[in-house]
């Protein structure tokens, strides 16, 4: 069926786009995990466990990133009003400037590939893509981490 082929093309294109964004983040001075934490906290301050779920990163990776970002004065911790044992993180003014600069740089590199698109085409595509991703987020539970099994040769 032709629709199946088109759907597969969308899936592959989304995967390739995500890979390109991950590569750009990995080459940033902060690195992929810290940049992801800073970006997610700039969108909506959250607890480390919420950021871990949002980013699909192990909790210890997020904790390390939070410590690095805090040491660099890019984020600050605030007590979680809903859980006295936890805290939320949000960007400092310097952190917001850092994430804004990364977004601007990534957007400028992206725009270079849209020179033959009209503003209306870009806007329509953005709306359709946001609708698709929103539907995927709402309709598909986040995958659970796979259980690690001992290798038979390690027993």
17-47: per-residue pLDDT in tens?
888 888 887 788 888 899 999 999 999 999 9
Q: Which two tokens stand for residue 58?
A: 């192990």
Is pTM beyond 0.85? Reply is: no
- For every residue of 88-155, DSSP letters joined together read EEEE-HHHHHHHHHHHHHHHHHHHTT-TTS-HHHHHHHHHHHHHHHHHHHHHSPPPPPPPP---GGG-
pLDDT at 64 over 60: yes
Residue-range domains of the chain with CATH: 2-137 (1.10.10.10)
CA 144 – CA 57 distance, rounded (Å): 12
Residue reference for tokens 């849209």: 114
The reported pLDDT for the residue numbered 146 is 57
What φ, ψ does residue 99 adopt, rounded to 5°?
A: -70, -35
């Amino acid at each position: 069926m032709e629709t199946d082929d088109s759907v597969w093309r969308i899936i592959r294109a989304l995967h390739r786009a995500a890979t390109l964004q991950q590569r750009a983040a990995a080459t940033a001075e902060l690195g992929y995990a810290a940049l992801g934490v800073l970006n997610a906290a700039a969108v909506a301050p959250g607890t480390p466990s919420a950021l871990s779920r949002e980013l699909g990163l192990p909790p210890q990776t997020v904790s390390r990133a939070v410590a690095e970002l805090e040491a660099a004065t890019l984020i600050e911790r605030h007590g979680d009003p809903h859980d006295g044992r936890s805290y939320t993180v949000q960007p400092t003014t310097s952190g917001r400037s850092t994430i804004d600069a990364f977004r601007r740089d990534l957007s400028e590199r992206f725009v270079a590939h849209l020179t033959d698109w009209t503003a209306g085409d870009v806007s329509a595509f953005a709306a359709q893509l946001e609708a698709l991703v929103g539907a995927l987020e709402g309709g598909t539970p986040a995958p659970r981490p796979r259980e690690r099994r001992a290798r038979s040769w390690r027993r």
